[in-house]
Chains A and B, each alone.
Chain A
Amino acid sequence: DAMVIQNPRYQVTQFGKPVTLSCSQTLNHNVMYWYQQKSSQAPKLLFHYYDKDFNNEADTPDNFQSRRPNTSFCFLDIRSPGLGDAAMYLCATSRDWGDEQYFGPGTRLTVT
């Protein structure tokens, strides 16, 4: 089945210790997105790629970076995680802008 896969599902990191979350897709979609979701809140878009073109949301902290080495994979790097970065991180894909987005299961990040 075509899908969006995120690894790991749960990640614990220490305050200030870099962490990388990964996302892969078998849908062959052009667009990949990273969202941050905290409890009882709407998902918040951090950035997205249209193919290899990177688009950063204006309010995404510099602490967050992303890489998309090929169509199938996308990574979220948090350079120096703070306690406020503890959240669910969701990867999503869509065929094009304005199309339905398909989400992975998410990575729950805990910062100790």
Chain B
Amino acid sequence: DQQVKQNSPSLSVQEGRISILNCDYTNSMFDYFLWYKKYPAEGPTFLISISSIKDKNEDGRFTVFLNKSAKHLSLHIVPSQPGDSAVYFCAAYGAGSYQLTFGKGTKLSVIP
């Protein structure tokens, strides 16, 4: 039973354009959402997060949007750069929980 779903296994975007990575969740107890970026042969790196009390959080080129009613979040990367090519994981915590539930990831390829 996948509680965090990333329905697009892969995405290709031209350099300089916007990358939009999507994530859906089913557990209404989730209240803190995180995005991780993973290069091959490396561990995931924390990228950006958002609390359920917000609907947007921005950090440089990265913006995460949260739509609680739709149980949907998205990560926007503008402008996309070749170095952004990686697998992106969406993850979520339930309130007071130690367990971080991950999606299966979306592989982003930014084409020069």
Contact = CB atoms under 8 A, between A and B. Distances in A.
B14 interface: no
Interface in B35-49: 36, 41-46, 49
B43 A48 contact: no
Given A40-B104, A41-B104, A97 B43 contact: no
Given A48-B98, A50-B98, A100 B42 contact: no
Interface residues of A, number: 25
A34 interface: no
A97 B96 contact: yes
B93 A98 contact: yes
A45 B46 contact: no
B19 to A, nearest CB: 20
A2 interface: no
A46 to B, nearest CB: 12
A33 to B, nearest CB: 8
B86 to A, nearest CB: 13
A23 B34 CA distance: 23
A56 interface: no
A106 interface: yes
A18 to B, nearest CB: 24
Interface of B: 4, 9, 32, 34, 36, 41-46, 49, 89, 93, 95-105
Nearest to B9: A40
B20 to A, nearest CB: 20
Shortest 10 CB-CB distances between A and B: which pairs? A103-B43, A42-B102, A97-B98, A100-B46, A103-B44, A106-B43, A105-B43, A42-B104, A104-B43, A98-B93
Contact of A42 (B9, B89, B93): B89
A100 B98 contact: no
Interface in A79-95: 90-92
A42 B105 contact: yes
Given A105-B42, A106-B43, 19 more contacts: A4-B43, A40-B9, A41-B104, A42-B105, A45-B99, A45-B100, A48-B98, A97-B96, A97-B97, A98-B32, A98-B93, A98-B97, A100-B46, A100-B49, A101-B34, A101-B100, A102-B46, A103-B36, A105-B43
